[in-house]
Amino acid sequence: MLNITLPGGDIRQVEAGTTVEALCRDISMGLFRAATAARVDGAVVDLRTPLTADCAVEILTFNDEDGRKAYRHTVSHILAQAVMHLFPNAKFAIGPAIDNGYYYDFDVERAFTPEDLAAIEAEMQAIIKQELPIERFELDVAEAEKLMADQPYKLELIAEHAGKGEKISFYRQGDFVDLCAGPHLLTTGGIKAVKLLSATGAYWRGSEKNKMLQRIYGTAFPKRSELDAWIEQQEEAKKRDHNKLGRELELFTTSDVIGQGLPILLPKGARVIQLLQRFVEDEEQKRGWLLTKTPLMAKSDLYKISGHWDHYRDGMFVLGDAEKADEEEVFALRPMTCPFQYQAYLNRARSYRDLPMRLAETSTLFRNEASGEMHGLIRVRQFTISEGHLMCTDEQLKDEFRKCLELCTFMLQTLGLYEDVSYRFSQWDPANTEKYIGTPEQWDEAQGLMKEILDDLGIQYKVGIGEAAFYGPKLDIQIKNVFGKEDTLITIQIDQMLAKTFGMEYVAKDGSKKNPCIIHRTSIGCYERTLALLIEKYAGAFPLWLAPEQIRILPITDRTADKAAEIQAALKAAGIERVEVDYDNEKIGYKIRRAQMEKIPYMLVVGDKEAENGEVAVRSRKNGDLGTMPLADFIAKATEEIENKTL
């Protein structure tokens, strides 16, 4: 008999070989009907998995992230099976679950049409109704290659396992078999509500050097009502999509002759970025950060020292022939600022009295992102970031990390984004060590130290294996856009390797020379990405302190135009500078509607009576008509709102 520990500490005894499915049925049929997968001693597995030793078991449902992935991954296989039925010559690539659904990549003769998606979705419903049992089995490499002989993309994946002595796992449902690690549901009948969303092109493995495939996106839920609610939420998200709204409000644009991933910030968008930048730089200065300004490019020599040349070159824009970098000067645009700021540290000898040294920079960076990854301001090839690098002693590391996190938290709270973020402890992948510098012992030490700091600070985080920088672990502050796609907004990294690599030292109290610890951090992240998230958060209606146009004065007639100009001058003299006057010869109702459409925080209507009495009729974008008040009272109200950065 085995002792199975359930969440909460309850222990069940079962016979060796009992499946998780049988255990789940024994616990509760209600739980079994909702179950999608399980976690056994921390590993996510199928319900069909036999239990062979004492262990901890947690049954997962759609409400759990890993449970959702198992559910939606099952649907991706149903999608592939439907495509196989309707497009017999299709070649199959990969079909993972993603944040809000799933996708599958196909090599087909032509692009999928909306009519194709409707037919595929109908075939998926037919497969679900058949309640096909889903079977997992394993083959050795030779047998796997024989089974997938007519599927080149699967053969490529299988070849990566050759020589490792590993069995290859497959899943079968009816007439469809797919190479897959799982887990999956027990039958296709466990799926209740599906929807195909779109079809688009996608390069095999995300590389422009590979063939363009056809990717079908879809989503799935356990209840039709949940699917309908999600679809409604997506319609609302489309209205807030920064890529649409940012262009309509003339915050940014793009140009084909400039290139993908290279947005143009129009005057309104550039003003918001400027306000954010001034806010960040002033706050950093208050907290002891020293401003640097370093070059946008460097010789390959610098990147070879840092490791970027070996570990990040594909993500860089190289100016010249990279293969000749050992023979002649080859320059590259910088993908990050750290090796440049290290040169500021190396400007002269340092002692422990110089530490901590906090170097900050508003950095323009360049990264050669794949074309398929570009999205508005979220992911671009040239961007500006609030970057900083802090050199400190071992004893100072924990306190300085805390201060970096406090700075990030302050920024997020001020912008109204704090409640929207989550934390990821990004670690190295010990199974893929060629991606990193340093030894396993060094990584264990760095990650152990960071875990201790995060746990002491009470940070609730998820672990991201393989998400570390090539030189050290990091805390990633994650945020989702309106469509649920998660990206990193802010990062704080611990680096115990590059100081030695660059010969960075300080003289300790005892006279010995030591390498400083380094913290890499951003305080607000990438300004373009932050702008995108703020557009979506506020649907383009920025808080007064951040609005590119804060107040619009609306004279009712030409008789009050001069008074409107006087009010504008008075507001600017009081420090409220982003004020415009609408002199157009239009009715006041039209002017108000136009200002509302352009998301102006306050409108000041000036008629004959207001002009005579030195008053303004105040309309708030948020609260509507606030009535008439003396101009001085409005100035006091607006000034307080700006100074407090009221959201």
Q: Is 601 helix (H, G, I), strand (E, B) or coil?
A: coil
Residue range(s) occupied by CATH 3.30.980.10 in the chain: 66-224
- Tell me which architecture the domain covering 264-296+334-533 has in CATH: 2-Layer Sandwich (3.30)
Mean pLDDT computed over 423-451: 91
How does DSSP assign 438-467, residue by residue?
Answer: S-HHHHHHHHHHHHHHHHHHT--EEEEET-
What is the spatial distance between Cα 639 and Cα 475, in angstroms, rounded to a whole number? 37
Q: Please give the backbone phi and psi of residue 386, each rounded to the nearest 5 degrees, phi first.
A: -90, 85
What is the spatial distance between Cα 635 and Cα 287, in angstroms, rounded to a whole number? 31
Interhelix angle 267-286/397-415, nearest 10 degrees: 140
Cα torsion angle, 145, 148, 152, 155, sign: negative
Measured at the CA of 52, the angle between CA 46 and CA 57, to 5 degrees, comes to 50
- Residue pLDDT, tens place only, 472-509: 999 999 999 988 888 999 999 999 899 999 999 999 99
- Residue pLDDT, tens place only, 358-407: 999 999 999 998 877 788 999 999 999 999 999 999 999 999 999 999 99
Mean pLDDT computed over 285-306: 96
What is the spatial distance between Cα 231 and Cα 485, in angstroms, rounded to a whole number? 15
Question: What pTM value is reported for the model?
Answer: 0.83
pLDDT of residue 483: 86
What is the strand order of the sheet 461-465 is part of?
Answer: 290-291, 357-366, 382-392, 517-526, 486-495, 474-480, 421-427, 461-465
pLDDT of residue 163: 67
Domain covering 551-643 assigned CATH 3.40.50.800 in the classification = yes
Note the CATH number of domain 66-224. Answer: 3.30.980.10
Residue range(s) occupied by CATH 3.30.930.10 in the chain: 264-296+334-533
* DSSP summary character for residue 549: S
Residue range(s) occupied by CATH 3.40.50.800 in the chain: 551-643
- Residue pLDDT, tens place only, 450-481: 999 999 999 999 999 999 998 899 999 999 99
Fold of 2-61: Ubiquitin-like (UB roll) (3.10.20)
Q: Which of 203, 157, 194 is nearest to 179 (CA)?
A: 157
What is the spatial distance between Cα 647 and Cα 412, in angstroms, rounded to a whole number? 12
Strands 101-107 and 97-98: antiparallel
- Residue pLDDT, tens place only, 60-115: 999 999 999 999 999 999 999 999 999 999 999 999 999 889 999 999 999 999 99
Residue range(s) occupied by CATH 3.10.20.30 in the chain: 2-61
List the end-to-end C-alpha distance of the chain, in Å, as a whole number: 60
Q: Give the chain's mean pLDDT.
A: 94
Assign residue 44 a region (left: φ > 0; alpha: ψ between -120 and 50; beta: otherwise). beta
- Residue pLDDT, tens place only, 523-572: 999 999 999 999 999 999 999 999 999 999 999 999 999 999 999 999 99
Q: Which of 527, 501, 534 is nearest to 515 (CA)?
A: 501
Spatial contact of 576 and 550, defined as CB atoms under 8 Å apart? yes
What is the spatial distance between Cα 463 and Cα 178, in angstroms, rounded to a whole number? 28
Mean pLDDT computed over 224-236: 94
- Answer whether residue 431 shows pLDDT above 90: no
* Residues of the chain by 3-state class (helix, strand, coil), percent to 5: 40, 30, 35
- Residue pLDDT, tens place only, 187-213: 999 999 999 999 999 999 888 889 999
Helix (H) / strand (E) element for 154: namely: helix 152-159
